[in-house]
Structure 1
Amino acid sequence: MSEVKTYSGPFPVDEDLVRRLVAGRFPQWAGLTVERFPSGGTVNAMYRLGDDMVVRLPLVAGGAQDVAVEREWLPRLAALLPTAVPEVLGAGEPAEGYPWPWSVYRWLAGENPEAGALGEPVGLAGDLAGFVSAMRSVTLPGAPQAYRGGPLASLDASTRAAVEELRGIPEEGVDCDAVLAVWEDALRAPDPDGPPVWLHADLMPGNLLVEAGRLTSVIDFGCMGMGDPACDLFPAWNLLPADARQVFRAALDVDEATWRRGRGRTLSQALIALPYHRRSNAAMADNARHVIRAVLEEAG
């Protein structure tokens, strides 16, 4: 029986490894340039392949399942959504010492939007609402459960632990009593009164692409599946200013209970991310700080 290796941290990936993987699996692309694409993501590495493609490789074992999910569902979802989504052009397999499946996608142009520096925030809010609405309208059978789609209460222990950790980091300036009050309000919100819906479930700025301020593509569908519709309200607080936030809410016709759950879910993710990433991932930490400020301003 062959030995299965485990890795305590991200698997070491570099341009040379990607070249060898591509040459071995897709010799027709062996002569194309390979260049690391900078990303604030922590689960996958991205390498530009030539001008028109990108290689996406999991850095941790948990990301390997995302590869399978995207390969199965993205071709079915693409025609149902109003924005471009990743198109799988090639399915890579473990080789050259690399332990997990990987994929080659068509390159999608655009840049990640940045909270506080949006060119068309109201228009972007409408675009995001259109995408979320289209996801909710999907009726494809056999969907997986979304990674973040379960009951809000399942996040309670980890959220409270993160708040206590932040109490020990006074330089972050988080009002821990205030964020706990918002979190507890979310827990008191009624559960969804309808069936679960299709979700992207990870609508972070790093998973959105814009051109001229408007949404052109949504990427990284590894968390997708069925769950609480509040899970796809993340952009309301992790990206949109207050006026555009209300446009987003109105376009989706979000009731008060769903809004409170969505605010709590977004806050929970930020509270957990901040102490974890504050020294290692500036983009993730800065977005977590933005979320905490936006939520407290709205709740206040």
Structure 2
Amino acid sequence: MTMHDDQVDVTAETVAALIREQFTEWSGKAIRLVPSTGTVNAIFRIGDGLSARFPLRLVDAAEALATLEREARAGAELAQVSPVPAPEPVALGQPGAGYPMPWSVQTWLPGTVAFDADPSGSDAFAEDLAGFVAALRGADTRGRAFGGEGRGGVLAHHDDWMAKCFAQSEGLLDVPRLRRLWSRFRELPRTGADVMSHGDLIPGNVLVAGDRLGGVLDTGGFGPADPALDLVSAWHLLRQGPRNVFRRTLGCDDLEWERGKAWAFQQAMGVVWYYAESNPTMSGMGRRTLDRILEPAD
């Protein structure tokens, strides 16, 4: 089952043809689809050291190229400040072989995503995660501010989306209770200036090595945002004990912590219903995050 109405399918044969046409130096390398719960790109390994990412949703080729170029710049910038490994951009491919959009190539990072190696009970992982968030926060914004798209700006600007999520979640979730929670979250005031943020710290974008943070993926959203945005990882990735370790390590005050919870809530509400049939792993992540948000504090 496809995840999106406008989804473009990509096969290993298509990828091999594109590489033969555009990157002859990689011709003959094994092409393997990477099993993934990701919702934005189909990912293929090229040999042992590279990965190719193909946008799944059909958009104008010029628009897709601008997005990929922006993501490449952001990913390269994050890799320079990250205390853990992150993929680095290598090349951009052109439409061809039946695939209608540009695509990207970056370095491949070994490791296991947190969907498959659950680090939620590890205090050491929580400390590593806090160190990663702190390192990004310490990066220079160079005068940039949140661009106004997606999560990371004003909570109340997401009211229309949340109304749709509540309507679509009837029969799936305790919607009246969740509406009441959003009515409180949306009023939380913003106090801190924008800081640099990963922007999407969900289990599929985090690599685990043993019980430690092994690396981060999907770094193209690196940019300025609400300092609370990357705190979504506390509820997406951690149980209550390590979550408290994460908070103490970062030194979050009550307001910032609640805003982080609000951003996690906003994201979780969207994935539960949208991926209920097409991507049960993502939908289940949303349910688990909501359960963690609703559980009583210590």
Please give the TM-score of this superposition, normalised by the length of structure 1: 0.89
- The reply to whether residue 209 of structure 1 matches residue 207 of structure 2 is yes
Q: How does 1:181-196 map to 2 (within 5 A)?
A: 181-191=180-190, 193-196=191-194
What corresponds to 1:3 in structure 2? none
Amino acid at match of 1:136: R
Shift of 1:115: 8.8
What corresponds to 2:217 in structure 1? 219
What corresponds to 1:151 in structure 2? 154
Shift of 1:142: 6.2
What corresponds to 1:228 in structure 2? 226
- The reply to whether residue 10 of structure 1 matches residue 24 of structure 2 is no
What corresponds to 1:60 in structure 2? 57
Q: How does 1:258-277 map to 2 (within 5 A)?
A: 258-277=256-275
What corresponds to 1:118 in structure 2? 119
8 Å CA contact 1:231, 1:265 repeated in 2: yes
Amino acid at match of 1:177: P
Structure 2: gaps (5+ residues): none
- What secondary structure, in the 3-state scheme, does the structure 2 residue paired with 1:195 have? coil
**Across the two proteins, how many residue pairs are aligned to each other?**
289
Q: 193, 198, 201: which one pairs with 1:200? A: 198
- Over 3 Å counting, the alpha-carbon distance change for 1:202 and 1:276 in structure 2 is same
Q: 149, 164, 173: which one pairs with 2:167? A: 164
CA distance in 1, matches of 2:77, 2:288: 34
CA distance in 2, matches of 1:238, 1:272: 14
Shift of 1:222: 2.9
CA distance in 2, matches of 1:52, 1:224: 23
Q: 277, 283, 286: which one pairs with 1:285? A: 283
- What secondary structure, in the 3-state scheme, does the structure 1 residue paired with 2:8 have? coil
What corresponds to 2:105 in structure 1? 104
- Over 3 Å counting, the alpha-carbon distance change for 1:56 and 1:142 in structure 2 is farther
- What secondary structure, in the 3-state scheme, does the structure 1 residue paired with 2:109 have? coil
8 Å CA contact 1:114, 1:239 repeated in 2: no
| Matched-pair identity in % | 35
What corresponds to 2:134 in structure 1? 133
CA distance in 2, matches of 1:74, 1:160: 33
Shift of 1:175: 2.2
Structure 1: gaps (5+ residues): 1-6
Please give the TM-score of this superposition, normalised by the length of structure 2: 0.90
Query: Which piece of structure 1 moves more, 247-256 or 141-150?
Result: 141-150
